[in-house]
Amino acid sequence: MKGTANRTIGLIGAGRIGSQIARLAVANGYNVVISNSRGPETLSALVAELGPRARAATAVDAARAGDMVVVTIPLKNYRAVPVEPLAGKIVIDTNNYYPERDGHISELDNESTTTSELLQAHLPTSKVVKAFNHIYAAALTTDGQPPGTKNRRALAIAGDDLGAKAAVSRLLDQFGFDTVDAGLLKEGWRIQRDTPGYGPRRTAAELRRDLAAAKRYAEQ
């Protein structure tokens, strides 16, 4: 991997999770381009806090600028994510499905697909990796520890592209977390809301156990 100095992380969404990932990225030497739905001018306070490695842009510009791009928006808006500027790129998907917020999405209600597979279908040539979906935003900047720390917190990823998953694992390691690979995107349900691993601090061994114990909504 290139050194972080030349790398830019684009963020589509700069709310609770997006702002925290931006903080971690800047602290680890990345440039960040953040975006939201209301426009770059509404992000001036966050840009000021993040400092010279950060700028605000439109979602299209953030997608274009990012070597790696994080989509962290309410799931109901996933079709608004720009497709062409993300072609060929690694796209990290933090999104979760909450029908009370997102409205009902029948393919998710009947469990014929998963949230990250929906985003992957919307971004057919991007390499979507599910990550950061099961950690509370505040914990992103409090729970990270250096590599090799005993009982370090682990985060799950899922994805269909092995190289993209390896790159996201390296990012997680830099940010302070071990990684547990949950498998293909279609296995992402194992870490959706109401599964054992969703929310609490888990080591890698604990998270593997939780992923194996996860039950489909229909079986809960």
Ligand X SMILES: NC(=O)c1ccc[n+]([C@@H]2O[C@H](COP(=O)([O-])OP(=O)(O)OC[C@H]3O[C@@H](n4cnc5c(N)ncnc54)[C@H](OP(=O)(O)O)[C@@H]3O)[C@@H](O)[C@H]2O)c1
Point out which residues bind ligand X (CB under 6 A): 12-18, 35-38, 59, 72-75, 77, 80, 94-96, 133, 136-137
Q: Shortest gap between Cβ of 161 and ligand X (angstroms)?
A: 21
CA dist 62 and 57 (Å) reads 6
Q: Which is nearer to ligand X, 5 or 56 (CB)?
A: 56
Nearest to ligand X by Cβ — which residue? 15
Q: Which is nearer to ligand X, 16 or 215 (CB)?
A: 16
Q: Shortest gap between Cβ of 168 and ligand X (angstroms)?
A: 15
Give the residue among 54, 171, 189 at the shortest CA–CA distance from 134: 189
CA dist 172 and 166 (Å) reads 10
Q: Which is nearer to ligand X, 73 or 207 (CB)?
A: 73
* Residue indicated by tokens 């009370």: 100
Q: Are 142 and 131 spatial neighbours (Cβ–Cβ below 8 Å)?
A: no
Give the residue among 112, 134, 103, 95 at the shortest CA–CA distance from 218: 112
Q: Which is nearer to ligand X, 28 or 37 (CB)?
A: 37
Q: Shortest gap between Cβ of 151 and ligand X (angstroms)?
A: 22
Q: Shortest gap between Cβ of 216 and ligand X (angstroms)?
A: 19
List residues bridging with 32 in a β-sheet: 9, 54
Q: For residue 159, give the amino acid letter.
A: G
Count other Cβ atoms within 10 Å, centred on residue 204: 17
Q: Shortest gap between Cβ of 210 and ligand X (angstroms)?
A: 16
Q: Which is nearer to ligand X, 73 or 214 (CB)?
A: 73
